Structure 1
Amino acid sequence: KLAIVGSRRMTEYGARVIEKWMPVLVNKGVNIVSGFMYGVDQTAHKACLDNGGNTIAVLGWGIDWPVATEDEEMYQRIVEVDSLIVSEYPGKTAPLLWFFPQRNRIVAGIADAVLIVEGSVKSGSMITARLANRFGKKLLAVPGQVTSRVAEGTNGLIRDGKAKAVTCAEDVLKEMGLVPGQLRLEVGRIDDPLVSLLADGERSVDELSRILKMEVSQVLGKLTELSLCGMVSESEGKYRLM
């Protein structure tokens, strides 16, 4: 899974990068994670769906909070292809400013790698970048024009050695350890401690986090992977093996 994040003030350059790279990424089985905001996020979700891929939208509000018509249409597209809409907030919880930095930890936790397409120095995507480094995830960035404000953050990450510069979709696949026709199949190994715990009975996210000594966002990431593989199901906040 690849998280694609970036500026809400996405430029034409950023849009072209996403739209050009997405067919290659989807063709190799890469699932796209993003935060469902306008700009880079929704462009990534849409491009993934347009190319027949699976996407995970992590919301900064409750799933039942009323959204604009075009966002509701995107909801339906995601659900219809058995992709995921994820939120840690109950039902009709309204979006609050601090929810968006909070949800970024789930975006970074779910993904195997994080790609920053565009972002200013103080943008939310830089928060996601810091979380990716903290979680030990591969951090990638698209180089941008040195005169562009929305490239200040990405260029700075590359300059400071915090992110690897990528200039094509093949670079991304290489950094993710994927080669043509071959995907890493690490999910659901029988010796996975999380799988072993669920084999003993249903558990909540908090229980799994406490027993495994993992952050909740990391547990949610693993559970999402297992859900996508059809290995676990959830009911009333409890997860079980299928």
Structure 2
Amino acid sequence: MNPKILIFSLVLLSILTGCKSDSKKSTDAKTEEVKEEAMPATEVAMNTLTQSEIDDGWVLLFDGKTPEGWRGYKKDHFPNGWQIVDGTIHCIGSGRGEAGNKEGGDIIYDKEFQNFTVSLEWKISEGGNSGIFYLGQEGPDFIWKTAPEMQVLDNEKHPDAKLGKDGNRQAGSLYDLIPAKPQNAKPVGEWNQVEITVYKGTVVHKQNGVNVVEYHLWTPEWNELVAGSKFPSLNKDWADVATKGYVGLQDHGDDVWFRNIKIKNL
């Protein structure tokens, strides 16, 4: 064979082999890429903390299995009107609204907090009403007489959604004082993720990833805001919110569910 032809053949063979190798590498890389894209993100189990959250100082307030740490307001036990079911704390609706259930009543976590962020999820029943209290005190007959409340509500069917001023009784709002804006609560049957941050009087309500309420306690503006609400007629000292208190969940006579309750001291 002509030496020139032999050399050309060998060079051509080398090029073709290299192309096949590069093509295979490219195909393998694409296959790996597809595998990575198809692999679902790891889901965090309900009512647990990730290692990152633990390292960041978060603490669970509900283990998903027992009412440990929770008790009735001004009671030494967890009331029968509430139950632990399917990884949730469930307030059993009485069908009597504010008249409530004699076996129920509001519940609190049995530890006071001062500067903190509390995070949880809630789901309301059709036409339902409830709330999340913070900086609450024991003494009066109801925790709402001492504590600010983040409203939990079916905005579509409960009458409270149309009462108050400018929607300040809708979900996420500082009840009867400051409306949640934007109003981004999810419909009945869906879970809403919320956070409440309290730090030296500054308070922020976050609902479904968005800050919807911001205010500052103990200021002239705060006192003026409270004076224009329904609270002074119900409790003249309502504006004097404590600097430290309990986190509470409201029994308003309707079915409501809470889960993934955790807190971080600031």
* Greater per-residue strand proportion: 2
TM-score, normalised with respect to structure 1: 0.26
RCO greater where, 1 or 2, for CA within 8 Å and sep 6 or more? Answer: 2
TM-score, normalised with respect to structure 2: 0.25
* Greater per-residue helix proportion: 1
